[in-house]
Amino acid sequence: MLISLSEIMNLPTGVQKRTAVYEPSTFVRLGVTYPILEKEEVELEIENLGSRKVKIGVKTKVVLSVPCDNCLAEQQVEIPVSSEVEVDFNQSEEDRVNDLNETAYIDGYDLDVDRLVYEEILLGFPMKVLCQEDCKGICKVCGANLNQGECGCVRTEPDPRMSVIRDIFNNVKEV
């Protein structure tokens, strides 16, 4: 959804509140697509600060289906979005980049709400998702979920520091 900020900048100084709908049904991060299970309406608060400056406040909540990093069981991850950004239209695009104030969600005088919410979800995405704090993961041999019980596979891993000695024994043939 696009919102024209030029209309708001032409109004006297004040605050305008709007609601918008976050359109996408999936979230893509690093080439992985996560389904969006729930999403609230996007509450926008746009304030004309005068002198071609606008403050944009955004608030919403999105629930994604994300696999556990250890056992791959799907988890519901709630990501709250709450942010305020000040945009100075007196600055050029290059000046905003140099000031580390990149606003890819602004095209000319149009605010792309979907892009703004996407970037905020990206910032709020958890580093690690676990189904439980002591998740045991999956068996490296058979792929069974170890949280549901032991699989019976032999999972002893030899000490990598002993690999040279193991290679010597493997190369010696008995007569």
Tell me the CB-side half-sphere exposure of residue 6, using CA atoms within 13 A. 4
Does the residue 158 lie in any domain? Answer: no
Contact yes or no for 150/137 (Cβ under 8 A): no
Cα 36 from chain centre: 12
| pLDDT tens-digit map of 74-96 | 999 999 999 898 887 776 666 66
Nearest CA to 49 out of 88, 96, 2 is that of 88
For residue 111, the cross-strand partners are 3, 106
Contact yes or no for 136/70 (Cβ under 8 A): yes
Q: What is the pTM of this model?
A: 0.75
Does the residue 133 lie in any domain? Answer: no
Does the residue 17 lie in any domain? Answer: yes
Does the residue 71 lie in any domain? Answer: yes
Does the residue 70 lie in any domain? Answer: yes
Does the residue 100 lie in any domain? Answer: yes
Is 90 exceeded by the pLDDT of residue 142? no
| Whole-angstrom distance, CA of residue 10 vs CA of residue 78 | 37
Is 50 exceeded by the pLDDT of residue 129? yes
Does the residue 8 lie in any domain? Answer: yes
Number of domains in the chain: 1
Does the residue 148 lie in any domain? Answer: no
Whole-number pLDDT of residue 96: 63
Whole-number pLDDT of residue 175: 47
Q: Which domain holds residue 115?
A: 2-124
